[in-house]
Structure 1
Amino acid sequence: MTKHKTGTREEWLTARLELLDAEKALTRRSDELARQRQELPWVRIDKEYRFDTDEGPASLADLFRGRSQLLVYHFMFGPDYGAGCPTCSNIADGFNGIGVHLAHHDVTLCAVSRAPLAKVQAYKRRMGWSFPWASSYESDFNHDFHVAHTEEEWQSGAVEYNYRMMDVGASEIDTAMAADSGTDWDTYRREGPGMSAFAREDDIVYHTYSTYERGLDILWGMYQWLDRAPLGRNETGLWWRRHDEYDSR
């Protein structure tokens, strides 16, 4: 017998309608936040960034692939990682499906990592992904957008991430994710997850938005489904895996 609260259909409907009011308020608030994001001032990017892609060397403007908008997912895959971050890998599982729709709405979705292109390509083949993924190896791009930090920066006591100075100790989950990425914690934490948005007008590229940490939750499609499942996220430790690492169910 379940220990969860039970009730009649009428009691469920009454509670559900109360929740619906709260959900509608959240939706309206989310719409307002989207409008505020779009009203942020654009920052012109004059620095020349170079990337390695499947098509050859590319500039930041080239990553747009002829479109006017670019969404970059800062994928945690450093030069010394043995594999891409398992959490970033989980998030990226949704990119193939939505990328084609974004492309037909004048938006390019592209992942960027500091791992050399050969490592990116090998991991991409393993995961069966087809979305664009560029290597920023030997570029300042990840550092300038605060998703990569040097060992010396961490040793200084704090680094800039998510719009604040912070130092991060290793939790049990963090250590496990570092090991799953084929590296140690000190190396693993040199990369950070995030996403950045860019616009291109008259051959000028502008930075329009970036978000990090829990700001990425909404992009993690699995969580949006779990938040509506009977037991919610119901998390214990590092329960998620890369899609090719789960036991058969």
Structure 2
Amino acid sequence: MTGHLIGTRDEWLIARRELLAAEKDLTRRSDDVARWRQELPWVRVDNTYRFETDHGAASLADLFQGRSQLLVYHFMFGPDYKAGCPSCSAIADGFNGFAVHLANHDVTLSAVSRAPLAKLREYKQRMGWTFPWASSFGDGFNFDFNVAFTEEQQREGKVEYNYERGGHAMDVTPVPAPVAEFAATCGTDAPTYARDRPGLSAFVREDGVVYHTYSTYSRGVDSLWGMYQWLDRAPRGRNETGPWWRRHDEYATR
């Protein structure tokens, strides 16, 4: 026997309409926040970043692929990882479909990671992905956008992530079990794993000049995580006590 509230169809409809009003308020508020996001001042990017891509060496401007807007997903795949982060992998599972539509709306979606291109290509093939993925190996791009940190920064507690210093689960001592577990699945230890972080950065190119317009980190990328948008509408919601997801080729067949 279920312990959940049971009601008639009429009772459900009354409750649903009350929820609908709240959902509409949330949608309008989300629209307001989106406009606020677009009104942020642009910051000119003068640094010459260099990436390796499937099409050869590239600058940040080249990653736009001729479009005026660029969305970069900062994918956790450090130089010493043997596989990409499971969480980033779950998020990236949706990129193939989105990238096609964005490309036809003047927006290029690209992942960027610090691992060498050969590692990214091998993992991309394993996952069956086709979206653009650039390597910033040896470049300062990830460090400048606060998604990569040095061992010294980590040791001295100078990691500034998600617009604050410290306080993130990856910076806690002792290391939380999920962080250690994810590090192991990437073939590395927790400190090495934690020197890379997830995030999203947006850029625009106008009159040949590239500007940084927006960045978000940590749970700021939650809305990009397609499976959670579905789970939030499922009867039991996220229904989790800790990380339960795996890379899509690691689940037992059901």
2:69 corresponds to: 69
Structure 1 window deviating more from structure 2 (8-17 vs 110-119): it is 8-17
1:55 corresponds to: 55
Deviation, structure 1 residue 158: 3.1
String of CA shifts for 1:165-221, please: whole Å, max 9, x gaps. Answer: 115122111111111111110100000000000000111000000000111100101
Q: Percent identity?
A: 70
1:18 corresponds to: 18
Q: Segments of 4+ in structure 1 off by > 4 A? A: none
Specify which of 218, 222, 227 is matched with residue 223 of structure 2.
218
Deviation, structure 1 residue 238: 2.3
Deviation, structure 1 residue 157: 1.7
| 1:237 to 2:231 alignment | no
Provide the secondary structure at the position in 1 that maps to 2:247. coil
For structure 1, which runs of at least 5 residues remain unmatched after alignment? none
| 1:30 to 2:35 alignment | no
TM-score relative to the length of structure 1: 0.99
Distance 2:185 2:2 in 1: 36
Amino acid at match of 2:4: H
Amino acid at match of 1:221: G
1:187 corresponds to: 192
Q: CA RMSD in A?
A: 0.7
Amino acid at match of 1:55: H
String of CA shifts for 1:110-132, please: whole Å, max 9, x gaps. Answer: 00000000000000000000000
TM-score relative to the length of structure 2: 0.97
1:141 corresponds to: 141
1:123 corresponds to: 123
Paired residues of 1:114 and 1:137 also in contact (CA < 8 A): yes
2:181 corresponds to: 176
String of CA shifts for 1:44-91, please: whole Å, max 9, x gaps. Answer: 000000000000000000000000000000000000001000000000
Amino acid at match of 1:210: S
Paired residues of 1:176 and 1:238 also in contact (CA < 8 A): no
1:151 corresponds to: 151
String of CA shifts for 1:127-155, please: whole Å, max 9, x gaps. Answer: 00000000000000000000000110011
Provide the secondary structure at the position in 1 that maps to 2:82. coil
Distance 1:142 1:79 in 2: 12
